[in-house]
Amino acid sequence: MPQPPDPAATAAVLIIGNEILSGRTQDVNLAYLAKELAAIGIPVREARVVPDIEDEIVAAVNAARARYTYVFTTGGIGPTHDDITSGCVAKAFGVELVLDPEAVALLRRHYTGDQLNPARLRMATVPKGSRLIENPVSTAPGFQIGNVYVLAGVPAIMRAMFDGLKGGLKGGRPVASRTVSTYLGEGAIAEALGALQSRHPTVDIGSYPFFRRGKFGTSLVARGTDEAELDRVAEGLRALIRDHGADPYEGEIA
């Protein structure tokens, strides 16, 4: 059932795992979550990479859940010794970690005989009072407790989990964007860009330099919830680029 809108809804993403901080694994989950949440009117206001250290995970969860409407964590809910997210979330909420009968049943249907060993059974432990999040890819569920949604770190599994739960989230108007690019450096247009931003305070205007085809340039991205206002800002971006003797290009320059 569609949820009533919440125009003030915000989100934080906590990416948990030493493998991200070491550079061994490149995170792609944040980009997916940020885009999907923006599309349902829930802007991501903070993202943090947290090591596999209990005190730091607990502190990050408590700080984020107190500040934002929704908190999404990725990683650390597998079967190995360094998968400590579930226990840390339980500690953050001051509840015990329990073996969930529904989660156990799901794992028993997926793993036959002695395949469901004690390590895999750890994936059925969740904070008391949690609601399971379906995992249609590899069965082992995530969970929700309060405003915290605990998802897998493997991108395909994380996406499947999120796609299944997003219909229950309450957001505001979708965040849309307009991109205008040019072969001008940021410094050349910085003053005019600042003036344009001051005239449109409800739109976020970002400036992203690039080097392509042997030339420096800038992609200017306007983000907001009012389509008409975004169109006015995009026209303002085109005008300031022309005023500086260059050509505006719609979208990113490939």
Is 1's pLDDT higher than 70?
no
CB neighbour list of residue 14: distance below 8 Å, 6 or more residues apart: 47, 48, 50, 57, 60, 61, 64, 71, 72, 73, 74
- pLDDT tens, position by position, 26-35: 999 999 999 9
- What pLDDT digit, counting tens, does each position of 75-89 carry? 999 999 999 999 999
Distance CA 114, CA 72 (A): 33
Instruction: Flag whether pLDDT at 108 surpasses 50.
Output: yes
Mean pLDDT of 183-194: 96
What mean pLDDT is reported for the chain? Answer: 95
pLDDT band for 4, please (50, 70, 90 cuts). low
Helix (H, G, I), strand (E, B) or coil at 62: helix
Helix pair 186-199, 227-243: axis angle to 10 deg:
140
Alpha-carbon gap, residue 176 to 241, rounded angstroms? 22
Give mean pLDDT, residues 115-131: 95
pLDDT at residue 3, as a whole number: 58
For 176-250, CATH gives 3.30.70.260
pLDDT, one tens digit per residue, over 151-177 is 999 999 999 999 999 999 999 999 999
In the predicted structure, residue 244 carries a pLDDT above the cut 80:
yes
When the candidates are 3.30.70.1290, 3.40.980.10, 3.40.50.300, 3.40.50.80, the CATH number that belongs to 11-168 is 3.40.980.10
Checking if the pLDDT of 184 tops 90, the result is: yes
CA distances from 116 to 105, 126, 127, 130 (A): 11, 17, 21, 22
Rounded distance between C-alpha atoms, residue 166 and residue 199, angstroms:
34
Q: Cβ distance 79 to 120 under 8 Å?
A: yes
- Percent with pLDDT over 90 in the chain: 95
Q: Are strands 125-127 and 70-74 parallel, antiparallel or unpaired?
A: unpaired
Q: Which amino acid is at 118?
A: P
The domain locations on the chain are 11-168, 176-250
